Amino acid sequence: MNMLATITKASAQSVWMAWEAVFDQITKLRSAGLKRYGICKLVIRRHHGKNLKCQDGEWIYSGDWVGELHLDNRQVLELSKELGADRAALLTARMLRRSITQISEAMETEPELAQVKALTGITLLHRGIIHGLGFELHPLESKGFRVFSTYYLRLLLKVLHPVGRERTKKNAPKLVPKMLMLTRKSLLLRYSKETA
């Protein structure tokens, strides 16, 4: 029974990775660019939705350019298979910090990022993996998008995480998607100090 479950999970992961490859191609067509920094993919696109006032006093207006962060799930999956879930999570968090430091440096040198006013993203794992990275959390205003994001990200967790199904069942009330936001100003201030 365990072998069957393992085969089924491996098949689901293969299908998901194939879908992500297609999604990357669609994303390239629907955005101003897609760049890679370590374990992160950065999609350059316009912010849609309500204007947001951030904790440092900066405003992100609808139509402003933002860098939307996505973890490279292929790398995360490989780490999980090699190291186990707990060690992979710790290493992913470290790699994420390195990626954001690289993005901070790129913000000051790469012309494609000159117009980007903030880093943003949607995540269920705001209690763990992004701790200490400087992101603030905002609720998802659109009910339809919130429902879609909840379903999509919980499915992602079930498919890619070794104990994703159990974790999703156990922690379902806590697994609510949030929007991450880190303004350019706060990013450069925080990570230029780390680089120094």
Domain boundaries in the chain? Answer: 31-192
Name the pLDDT band for 175 (thresholds 50, 70, 90). low
Across the range 128-136, mean pLDDT stands at 79
Q: Does 12 score more than 70 pLDDT?
A: no
Distances (CA, A) of 102 to 26, 28, 88, 159: 25, 21, 21, 29
Q: For residue 194, what pLDDT is reported?
A: 62
Q: Does 140 score more than 70 pLDDT?
A: yes
Whether the CB-CB separation of 84 and 162 falls below 8 Å is answered with yes
Angle at 117 between CA 113 and CA 123, to 5 degrees: 100
Residues 6+ apart with CB under 8 A from 185: 56, 58
Whether the CB-CB separation of 113 and 184 falls below 8 Å is answered with no
Range from 19-28, 37-46, 77-86, 134-143 that averages highest in pLDDT: 37-46
pTM here is 0.75
31-192: which CATH topology?
Aminopeptidase (3.40.630)
Pairing of strands 178-183, 136-138: antiparallel
Distances (CA, A) of 139 to 35, 121, 176: 26, 12, 9
The residue with greater pLDDT, 71 or 25, is: 71
